[in-house]
Amino acid sequence: MVRRSNEKRKLIGELVKNAKAMIQAGLSQTTRTCGQPSCACHSDPARRHGPNAYLTFRAEGRSSGFYVAPEHLEEAKGAKRAWDEFWQAATRVAAINREEMKVRWQTARKARVGR
């Protein structure tokens, strides 16, 4: 029980740390053709522009997204990773809470029955 509450404290620390940076979004990287018909990108797929990165997400029921400049790509990846880690820690905390609740209820029941 002590070990579990230590783990829980550590996990809650991870939740707080990740909550500060996390974003919930997909990261897609696509190449594209430009507006100049004479540009090589129109005839040779290998010479398309990019890849350009976009964060994609749903907001208010609609698909949305925005461009990620190359200098922000690592930050975007880190923010996505923070969400994954937040979710994993939250799932673990929820499992510990469930187990603690079960034990607490069983203990209360035994105390009642034992009276």
Binding residues vs Zn ion (CB under 5 A):
34, 39, 41
d(CA 15, CA 90): 7
CB of 32 to Zn ion, least distance (A): 8
| Closest to Zn ion by CB, 27 or 41 | 41
CB of 82 to Zn ion, least distance (A): 35
CB of 29 to Zn ion, least distance (A): 17
From residue 65, give the alpha-carbon distance in Å to each of 69, 78, 106, 108.
13, 17, 49, 51
Question: Judged by CB, which is closer to Zn ion: 45, or 61?
Answer: 45
Nearer residue to Zn ion within complex by CB, 34 or 73: 34
Closest distance to Zn ion from the beta carbon of 42 (Å):
7
C-alpha 22/C-alpha 2 separation (Å) is 30
Asked whether the bond before 70 is cis by omega within 30 degrees of 0, the reply is no
Nearer Cβ to Zn ion (36/63): 36
Cα 76–Cα 79–Cα 84 angle in degrees, nearest 5: 125
CB 79 within 8 A of CB 55: no
